[in-house]
Structure 1
Amino acid sequence: MGDSCGCGSTVDIRALEAGQRRVLMIVLAINIATFVMMITAAIYSGSSSLLSGSLDNLGDALTYLLSLAVIGASLRAKAKVALIKGLLIFGAAVAVAIQIGWRLAHPEVPIFEAIGIAAVINLAFNALCLWLLTPYRFGDVNMSSAWECSRNDLYEGVAVLLAAAGVWLFDAGWPDLVIAGGLLLMFLRSAWRVLRMAWRSYRDEAK
């Protein structure tokens, strides 16, 4: 009887890990594709908000790759990877801050049509990724931090749409910079949340 229960538990864990791998591989592929699309649109349009979104997608792709690597690993290993994820988000914030500074020194009006089209496509795929990851929202630190990154993507997608609308409405570049500044604050907040989550998980495991 006991052996049967233990075997069933092992099968359940393996099934859960297989599901996690499958979902992470899908969202990884989506984020790589959307990164290429967003960075191309950002260069063409001259948009800081699009560049912020593309860096976010790149960071998420790296995050999902790291998440795949530690499925089935110890809680300590997952906590260490979550720490790296937090640092990646913080690195994206630094890159956005540098871009905003450069744009303030070299003001221009970005192409709102390119921003809007790229933002709509990105938002649709971000919503798909969040839907796929939501069942694992309250899992271990590895999957919950992946969900945190995906949720940020949804906010970022809406924000970039607002940037496109603002550039069109005011025929100026400042709405794009304002949204990029808002995304910068979001990245900093998310980095803090993930780093705190990783530290708590590592500390609890060490007890």
Structure 2
Amino acid sequence: MSECSSCGKVVDVAAMEDSQRRTLKIVLAINLATFVMMMGAAWFSRSSSLLSGGLDNLGDALTYAVSLAVVGSSLQTKAKVAFLKGLLILGAAIAVAAQIVWRLQNPGVPVFEAMGLAGALNLAANAFCLWLLTPHRNGDINLSSAWECSRNDIYEGFAVLLAAFAVWVFGTGWPDLVIASALLLMFLRSASRVLRGAWRELRGATPAPSACELP
């Protein structure tokens, strides 16, 4: 009886890991596609908030890729991956900061129609990813961190739509820069928390918090 029970547990774990891999592959593909779409829209519309969203999608795609690679790995390995996720968030923040500085030196009014369309498509894609990841939200740090990233994407999606609406209402580019700056602060704080938590985990202290944790 105990052997059968043990076999059943092994089968359940294997099925769970297969389900995690399938979900991560789907959300990885979606984020790669939305990254290309958002970067094209950011270039066309000259929007810093769209650039922020596009880089966030790239960071998420890389996050899902490394999460996929360590499904079933040890907690120590997953902590190392969490540290890498923190570095990816920090890299996105640096890129957004550079874009904001450039836009301040080269002011202009973004094309709000392109911002709104790209933002709406991105929000819909992120909502679908969140729905796919929700059944795994209470799993280990690997999948729960991916869910946290996806949930943050929802807030980022609404922020981009808000920026597009404000640009349309006021006819100026400052709302786009304000939203991009807010996203920058979120990235910096999130990166700091993730890196500190992962470092504590690697040193054998308390468990690391979920990646992309909200400020």
TM range (shorter): over 0.9
| Farther off after superposition, 64-73 or 133-142 | 133-142
Contact 1:141 1:197 (C-alpha < 8 Å) held by counterparts: no
Aligned-CA RMSD value: 1.6
- Quick one: which amino acid aligns to residue 17 of structure 1? E
Asked whether 1:36 is paired with 2:6, we answer no
Return the structure number with greater helix share: 1
In 1, Cα distance between the equivalents of 2:16 and 2:159? 34
In 1, Cα distance between the equivalents of 2:135 and 2:189? 23
Flag the 1:49–1:192 CA change in 2: closer, same or farther, 3 A.
same
The answer for the alignment partner of 1:177 in structure 2 is 177
State the shift of 1:200 in Å.
4.3
State the shift of 1:191 in Å.
1.6
The answer for the alignment partner of 1:148 in structure 2 is 148
Q: Secondary structure at the match of 2:158?
A: helix
The answer for the alignment partner of 2:213 in structure 1 is none
The answer for the alignment partner of 2:92 in structure 1 is 92
- Quick one: which amino acid aligns to residue 179 of structure 2? I
Contact 2:83 2:199 (C-alpha < 8 Å) held by counterparts: yes
State the shift of 1:132 in Å.
1.0
Segments of 5+ residues of structure 1 without an aligned counterpart are none
Asked whether 1:115 is paired with 2:115, we answer yes
Contact 2:200 2:206 (C-alpha < 8 Å) held by counterparts: no
In 2, Cα distance between the equivalents of 1:69 and 1:188? 25
- Quick one: which amino acid aligns to residue 50 of structure 2? L
Asked whether 1:23 is paired with 2:35, we answer no
Contact 1:75 1:202 (C-alpha < 8 Å) held by counterparts: no
The answer for the alignment partner of 1:162 in structure 2 is 162
- Quick one: which amino acid aligns to residue 15 of structure 2? A
Contact 1:45 1:114 (C-alpha < 8 Å) held by counterparts: yes
In 1, Cα distance between the equivalents of 2:202 and 2:2? 32
The answer for the alignment partner of 2:57 in structure 1 is 57
- Quick one: which amino acid aligns to residue 124 of structure 1? A
| Farther off after superposition, 147-156 or 162-171 | 147-156
Flag the 1:51–1:90 CA change in 2: closer, same or farther, 3 A.
same
Asked whether 1:3 is paired with 2:14, we answer no
In 1, Cα distance between the equivalents of 2:32 and 2:22? 16
The answer for the alignment partner of 1:12 in structure 2 is 12
Asked whether 1:126 is paired with 2:126, we answer yes
TM-score (norm 1): 0.95
- Quick one: which amino acid aligns to residue 21 of structure 2? R
Deviations 1:107-132 (A, max 9, x none): 00000000000000000010111111
Contact 1:67 1:142 (C-alpha < 8 Å) held by counterparts: yes
State the shift of 1:70 in Å.
0.4
- Quick one: which amino acid aligns to residue 93 of structure 2? A
In 1, Cα distance between the equivalents of 2:121 and 2:106? 28
Deviations 1:118-152 (A, max 9, x none): 00000001011111111222221111111121111
The answer for the alignment partner of 2:193 in structure 1 is 193
Q: Secondary structure at the match of 1:107?
A: coil
Identity across aligned pairs (percent)?
69
Contact 1:167 1:173 (C-alpha < 8 Å) held by counterparts: yes
